[in-house]
Structure 1
Amino acid sequence: MRKNSWKPSNLYLIVVFAILYAPIFYLMFYSFNSGGSMREFEGFTWEFYGEVFQDTRLLIIVLNTFIIALLSSAISTIIGVFGAIAIHYIRSNRPKGTLLTLNNVLIVSPDVIIGASFLILFTIAGIQLGFVSVLLSHIAFSIPIVVIMVLPKLQEMSGTLLDAARDLGASSWEVLTRVILPYIKPGIFAGFFMALTYSLDDFAVTFFVTGNGFSTLSVEIYSRARQGVSLSINALSTLIFLFTILLVIGYYFINRRSSRPAGREERA
């Protein structure tokens, strides 16, 4: 007989996800409200989505946000990968533990403190607040994320792979590019997409380091929300949420493909 697979934990998970996603779906639902408010749904309309795409200033801010996110994610992934490799191959436990602790502290530190610290640093260094300051800040808080995502893959890798490559005459560069990097590719993709989502989502740090004439979506949405309820904010938030879902789905398929055994790919 087939056993009943229903467990109380399943009900708990359903309740948790309902609490998490109900406000988002509520926001998305009223983005189509022709009544212009979130009190009563009067009819379906695309009006507020049209307002989003007709707002030239908002489209420029969207472009700025994605440029910052893509650049900071790419740069932080490169630095984070080599940083993770350097930490992994440190032989002494004390320096390795110290570096890991410092890396983890940056992840758990409050964003307000990080943002205020960057603001003081840029002010002292004479760096004008704007594109450069936001880009440097996003790179800085994304590097520890990449390191955390790459290190587990390095720890899974057997040292015999490297020894075999060296015995076959591979140079240090060939070991890195043909053995280490292909093996940790899933961790690299995970770090890149995590850095990308963190950059797109960040508000606190960006709020401190952005200047006049430059803004990102998170700061813009906050500024507009303070002026009053507008369903164009709902429409914009809905588009961002859908784009985030596409990123997650894309990461899932990329990670699944990169984790596929090489022999299976050759037979395919």
Structure 2
Amino acid sequence: MGKKRNWPAIYLSIMFVILYAPIFYLMFYSFNSGGTMYGFEGFTFDYYLEVFQNTRLLIIVLNTVIIALLSAVISTIIGVFGAMAIMYVKKQQTKNTLLSLNNVLIVSPDVIIGASFLILFTFIGIKLGFASVLIAHIAFSVPIVVLMVLPKLQEMSPTLIDAARDLGASRMDILTKIILPYITPGIYAGFFMALTYSLDDFAVTFFVTGNGFSTLSVEIYSLARQGISMEINALSTLIFLVTLSLVAGYYFISKKAVGMAGMGVRK
């Protein structure tokens, strides 16, 4: 009898090809000296130089990074305490209600979220720009952080907290020396997920940006409407590489955090 074919591996290979082939096609032609998406004529870095020489684009990159970092940090802090509030609430009905409210922003279409924020900011008089984008990014990032942190809280044995209380630990000691170190992998996961969601978001950002302020996703959309440009390919390639490095960084940091947590438990 012949060897059985590994259908799951074949299926995954086909899916990866479908997902990544367009990205690698875009990256390949970002080096095309011919300036088109067909007929590779020669290798050049000119379009990457154009990206770095474009002052307006560099300012937009800086805006995007600042928004992503600020929203990730603030949403991680809010999400961690939100997850603890959901975890340690006494009534199950209240817990289910809070979880349902938390998941609304995740399951809702981005267009609806963006339009809702636009109406809200217009109604309360917040000028569209940096502040509106930051608030919107924090809002849709918090539920993601909660979902990343909550499983780690559920894994933690209640006896750890009970033992700490029996030994005279204060609430602050329990929080800083027991709970936070244990859920560190979930905190890292929530932070990096919030960071990547903020960097990649287009739909919500498109609604809440104002004149004079933009992010990379909105800028790429604007450039793409003007026609095919190798500068877009170069910029998209750089974004993909940065996102890939963030994923790799999250993997190594979370792996290290899990190892340190394991050592702490053994001690």
Length-normalised TM-score, structure 2: 0.96
Deviations 1:70-91 (CA, angstroms, capped at 9, x unpaired): 0000000000000000000011
Q: How does 1:252-267 map to 2 (within 5 A)?
A: 252-261=251-260, 264=263
2: CA distance between counterparts of 1:188 and 1:264?
A: 18
2:217 is the counterpart of 1:218: yes
Residue 131 of structure 2 corresponds to 132
Residue 115 of structure 2 corresponds to 116
Deviations 1:4-59 (CA, angstroms, capped at 9, x unpaired): 79611100000000000000000000000000000210000000000000000000
TM-align CA RMSD: 1.7
Residue 227 of structure 1 corresponds to 226
Alpha-carbon shift at residue 104 of structure 1 (Å): 1.1
Deviations 1:161-203 (CA, angstroms, capped at 9, x unpaired): 0001111110001000100000000000000000000000000
Mean alpha-carbon deviation: is it higher for 5-14 or for 47-56? 5-14
Alpha-carbon shift at residue 264 of structure 1 (Å): 4.9
2: CA distance between counterparts of 1:84 and 1:263?
A: 22
Distance 1:251 1:50, change over 3 A: same
Residue 84 of structure 2 corresponds to 85
Distance 1:33 1:265, change over 3 A: farther
2: CA distance between counterparts of 1:199 and 1:17?
A: 24
Length-normalised TM-score, structure 1: 0.96
Partner AA of 2:131 in structure 1:
V
Partner AA of 1:10 in structure 2:
A
2: CA distance between counterparts of 1:106 and 1:46?
A: 41
| Local SS of the residue matching 1:115 | helix
| Local SS of the residue matching 2:189 | helix
| Local SS of the residue matching 2:259 | coil
| Local SS of the residue matching 2:32 | coil
Gaps of 5+ in 2: none
Residue 51 of structure 1 corresponds to 50
Residue 25 of structure 1 corresponds to 24
Q: What percent identity do the matched residue pairs reach? A: 74
Partner AA of 1:116 in structure 2:
A
1: CA distance between counterparts of 2:146 and 2:5?
A: 38
1: CA distance between counterparts of 2:56 and 2:262?
A: 51
Residue 149 of structure 2 corresponds to 150
1: CA distance between counterparts of 2:79 and 2:180?
A: 13
Deviations 1:216-240 (CA, angstroms, capped at 9, x unpaired): 0000000000001000000000000
Alpha-carbon shift at residue 102 of structure 1 (Å): 1.1
2:158 is the counterpart of 1:178: no
Q: Where do 4+ consecutive residues of structure 1 move more than 2 Å?
A: 261-267
Alpha-carbon shift at residue 266 of structure 1 (Å): 11
Deviations 1:112-154 (CA, angstroms, capped at 9, x unpaired): 0000000000001100000000000000000000000000000
2: CA distance between counterparts of 1:151 and 1:8?
A: 35
2: CA distance between counterparts of 1:228 and 1:78?
A: 41
2: CA distance between counterparts of 1:6 and 1:211?
A: 55
Tell me if structure 1 keeps the 8 A contact 2:182–2:261.
Answer: no
